[in-house]
Structure 1
Amino acid sequence: MSWGAGYVTDIAYAPGYYAEQSPRLMAITALVNGYAAHVPSRTQDFHFVDIGCGKGFTALVLAAANPGWAVTGLDFNPAHIAVARNLAECAGLTNCRFIEADFTRFSGADLADFDAASLHGLWTWVGEPVRQGVVRLLADKLKPGGYCHVSYNVLPAWRGMIGLQRLMREAGIRLAHRADRQAERGFAVIRRLMDAGGAAIDPMARRLIEHCAEQPASYLAHEFMNAAWAPCFHQDVATAMAGAKLHYVGSPRLLENFPSLTLDDTARAIATEFEDPAMVELLKDVTGNQPLRHDVFIRGAVRLDAARRDAALGAISLGLSVPYARRQLEFDAPTGRASMSEGLYQPAFERLANGPATVADLLARARRTSSAAAVDNPAELLAMLIGTGQALPIADATAIMDPACVRLNAAMFAEKMHASNVMQRVTLAVPALGGGYSLPGLAAFAVLRQHDWLSEATSGQALPQPDGTNFAAWANLVAPGGDEATIAQIVSVFSTFFEQQAPMLNRLGIVC
């Protein structure tokens, strides 16, 4: 294991798609915060690089859903690269490639300059030589105006875990051999301390431990068993990124860009005393105790005036990502319970219930139908709808599920379900979204059955809703040999899914 330089290499990283890595969401983040950014279309010449791609799910989804793009996945673990290449081959994707790269030495000499990059699950978990190598790559290869997403464990939320992580790792490597078993044994030690009410466990650390207790051992191993594990402050990351001329422009978790939702009155008053926006971010982290940050940087950030920003945001199309009946005008924010203006958002929900619409159209509808004064702020409307998880950006509402996406979805489902259960969430590549959509495993299974995923055939049109006979047959495939109660429960899940979810998914281009 010496080639890993202290990073876990004997078990693979859990595969997954993360919406924050989407270049479209990076561009929207910049626009919401008043910076110039181009939202790429599905068919344009665009190069995205996933740095530390793992098994490549994000890279594969973006390649399949955006046929005009070139997508490159880089990872130092050859096992990850082998899996990603196999999935690409199964899907017949020709616009993505995966490269084994040691970032301490990788120069990217044969790598074309890229328009966007993402570092998810990398910065906190690797040593300083690797981080320096990544910054060099960004400095050499990210185009002017290009954007980059970085996620990391942030201080001070993790302060109470620094000693516990060290204890967990040191105990684990002395109690077991394989990394996942080391994680299990080491985690059991700190759980014993917590359960005994030890003073070593502060409230935030207790929250993190309770969250991690629900995660599989493979997750714990990659989270905690790396020798270089080091949570950091936002300003430290921003300073490092400045070495590649990158400037922080906001969070792809769009609600986090609004101080009224992230800072209480006292913190907001303190923030106004500083011209440096980094102080706002520090106040968010100190008062909010969020454990994971997602940051977007631009190489050559250019400010937009309000008119141009609003025009760019107004042209973005949105689609409802929850059934209309489940819409909510209230939501939880770091500062407490928050609410959206009914005069602005109820007309928007009503319009989106019929299919995708542009932000400009939603604002115009609110002005026509509301007796209240609608807030004519496209940044707020877009951020609230996406940030609360009730809408998604639409890349091309006319795009249908194509054979490449169907094949990839089948391959990713099989990989995700390997040694797992069908209650786990699975992401499907969706051309209309230009990205992915996450569903519980049983729902994803139902969609794949509708796509006839056992073959490579797909009609590209909405298929008739299955009847109870189909559901019973599917349930027996999901739980072969299951008892009557188990089969009936699964049939009920399928029936409810098609009754409540399928119409909304069809409007998002997820044919079912």
Structure 2
Amino acid sequence: MAWSYGYFTELNYTHGYYPEMNPAMLRLACLCNAVEPQLPDAPSYLELGFGQGVTINMLAAASSGSYWGADFNPAQTVEARKLADASRADIRLFDDSFEEFASRKDLPDFDVIALHGIWSWISEKNRKIITDIIRRKLRPGGIAYISYNCLPGWAPVIPIRQLMSLYQDYGGGKMSRPIEMIEGAVQFAGEIAKAGSFYFRDNPFARHHLDQLTKQGRNYLAHEYMNADWHLEHFSDMVRSLDDAKLTYVGSARLLDGIDAFQLNEEGIKFVSQIGHPIMRETVRDYLVNRRFRTDIFVKGPQMLPGREHRDAWHALTFVLTTPSIDIPKKISCGRGEVELPAEKYDLILEVLSDDDYRPKRVKELLKHDKLRKLKPQDVVDYLTILTGAGFAAPAQIPSEKVKEQCRALNRHILQRALVSMDLHHMVSPVTGGGIGLTHMTQLFVLASSEGKASAAALVSYVWDFLDSLDERLVRDGKKIESKDENLKEIRASANKFRKFGRPLLEALQIIESPSAGDSSMAAAE
């Protein structure tokens, strides 16, 4: 068999960043489930199947830990090493197969072993190799993070994937270039649906899913659907498969997934509350929400936190907003749709977190704040969990000078890359220990700011000159804006919003140097 073992390598994987893989988020997820997060401040971290290496590089740059990664695709390893060379963080990246990596003699014991999605796309042999790596090299108390496609949510889509795979093998796909093959496979499945297929008639979700495929990026479709191996399993099967690695399920890395009020209706909440066994309960929850993707955290030897220690661990945490308060919605999107949070609590917490130009704040400080004194301590904890789970806040740390320099170096690389590419949608924060999502225009504003262009007029001129030099224009509602005046109007509105709301937040996150740079903001949270 070829070195790729049936994994689709003709098109590059997407440049995604996955915040739930951040050690700070893994610690918080454990804490949300009353499990002691046994991760040191400088963890030894392994990612198996790192793709383009965006996540592992951002975590390594923003952490005092040691990071290792294996991805057998040499083209992706080259790309990942460019980011590593920029930050000069403590990171080792190998283009080994999992079998080759498992046989290395220089591997340390790891505090975290993480794999995003790859479990669904590899052979049974490789899944057993990964399980063996976890069994041998994850230290007692360590965390395994495994995200994967799951049942029952994917069940209606299995025949669509089969049709696309058949086209690849027998329908002319082998003679086509990669993009043409993907286009042909999607079109082939669509033609079957249009030909009066009873399958698509009787399974409206499958037809809806097929329609959505036409709108998704072809690189994503290639890696999601066109691998030789495509493994789907129920949560309970995943738990059994990891028994040999001595792992115990703790909870989801996506915090909102673990809150029944955000996932289930009243009948579902009542039904689940009657199920005693945790594996059965979690499997039933998957059926109630028709879950398609899981982000599971397992621990080798979890220790439950007694009530007082659990409370003290929460009070010691520090949080920071990661989204300007003006952009945080009043309704939170979740499994059951949208949940509107009570303004008398939610708005107050947002207001306090925004105080002092978004300065990070310790939970203990929040509980004593005059505006929040009337709230119960559990209310504050609950809303911080919700804000973090929704991606609007994050745990914060006091970064070392080395970490801050690593982040500055990686961000300089990302900003220069923004002049020629739009593939990286995050910059790295030494305060959160990971990536922060930023639009391409915001990255250009940050780049202009780094060159001393602070006024709105200067920011607008910088972005317009960039667009005009490439003969590009902004897009609104899916349509290109041709008029120069309309482009300038859009850029000006974004620039004013950036100066008023975006820049103060990015200074608090230390993505932009603030006029009073230093640790004083974090020290105030002590």
Fold shared per TM-score above 0.5:
yes
Residue 51 of structure 2 corresponds to residue 50 of structure 1:
no
Matched-pair contact (CA < 8 Å) for 1:431–1:509: yes
Identity percentage of aligned residues: 28
Name 1:408's counterpart in structure 2: 410
Name 2:213's counterpart in structure 1: 212
Name 2:172's counterpart in structure 1: 175
Matches within 5 A, 1:97-136: 97-107=92-102, 108-136=104-132
Give the aligned residue type for 2:149.
Answer: N
Moved more, 385-394 or 476-485: 476-485
Name 1:437's counterpart in structure 2: 436
Give the aligned residue type for 1:300.
Answer: G
Name 1:86's counterpart in structure 2: 82
Deviation at 1:450, TM superposition (A): 2.6
Residue 152 of structure 2 corresponds to residue 163 of structure 1:
no
Matches within 5 A, 1:101-500: 101-107=96-102, 108-173=104-169, 174-176=171-173, 177-194=176-193, 198-201=197-200, 202-354=203-355, 355-365=359-369, 369-370=373-374, 374=376, 376=378, 379-396=381-398, 402-412=404-414, 422=422, 426-452=425-451, 465-480=454-469, 481-482=471-472, 484-485=484-485, 487-488=487-488, 489-500=490-501
Residue 37 of structure 2 corresponds to residue 37 of structure 1:
yes
Misfit runs of 4+, over 6 Å: 397-401
Against the structure 1 CA distance between its residues 15 and 390, is the aligned structure 2 distance closer, same or farther, given a 3 Å change threshold? Answer: closer
Give the count of matched residue pairs: 492
Counterpart selection for 2:60 from 63, 79, 82: 63
SS at match of 2:242: helix
Moved more, 485-494 or 274-283: 485-494
Name 2:17's counterpart in structure 1: 17
- What's the CA shift string for 1:16-69, capped at 9, x where partnerless? 21101111111110110111104643xx3x211111011211111111111x21
Deviation at 1:339, TM superposition (A): 3.5
Task: Give me the whole-angstrom Cα distance separating, in 1, the residues matched to 2:239 and 2:311.
Answer: 27
Deviation at 1:86, TM superposition (A): 2.6
Matched-pair contact (CA < 8 Å) for 1:28–1:39: no
- What's the CA shift string for 1:400-430, capped at 9, x where partnerless? 9944323323434566786x5x4x6611111
Give the aligned residue type for 1:275.
Answer: G
* Larger fraction in helix: 2
Task: Give me the whole-angstrom Cα distance separating, in 2, the residues matched to 1:196 and 1:366.
Answer: 66
TM-score (norm 1): 0.88
Task: Give me the whole-angstrom Cα distance separating, in 1, the residues matched to 2:419 and 2:221.
Answer: 19
**Unaligned regions of 5+ residues in structure 2, if any?**
473-481, 514-526
- What's the CA shift string for 1:185-234, capped at 9, x where partnerless? 10122233446674323233344334433322111100100011122211
- What's the CA shift string for 1:447-478, capped at 9, x where partnerless? 233335xxxxxxxxxx6733413421332223
- What's the CA shift string for 1:291-347, capped at 9, x where partnerless? 221111111111111221121122111112222234444323333543434444333
Matched-pair contact (CA < 8 Å) for 1:396–1:434: no
**Unaligned regions of 5+ residues in structure 1, if any?**
453-462
Matched-pair contact (CA < 8 Å) for 2:48–2:113: yes
TM-score (norm 2): 0.86
SS at match of 2:6: coil
Deviation at 1:391, TM superposition (A): 1.3
Give the aligned residue type for 2:392.
Answer: Q
Give the aligned residue type for 1:162.
Answer: I
Supply the RMSD in Å over aligned alpha carbons: 2.7
Name 2:6's counterpart in structure 1: 6
Task: Give me the whole-angstrom Cα distance separating, in 2, the residues matched to 1:331 and 1:153.
Answer: 24
Task: Give me the whole-angstrom Cα distance separating, in 1, the residues matched to 2:436 and 2:286.
Answer: 29
Name 1:95's counterpart in structure 2: 90
Moved more, 108-117 or 491-500: 491-500
Matched-pair contact (CA < 8 Å) for 2:425–2:439: yes
Against the structure 1 CA distance between its residues 49 and 378, is the aligned structure 2 distance closer, same or farther, given a 3 Å change threshold? Answer: farther
Task: Give me the whole-angstrom Cα distance separating, in 2, the residues matched to 1:207 and 1:501.
Answer: 37
Task: Give me the whole-angstrom Cα distance separating, in 1, the residues matched to 2:62 and 2:19.
Answer: 13
Against the structure 1 CA distance between its residues 29 and 161, is the aligned structure 2 distance closer, same or farther, given a 3 Å change threshold? Answer: same
Moved more, 395-404 or 467-476: 395-404
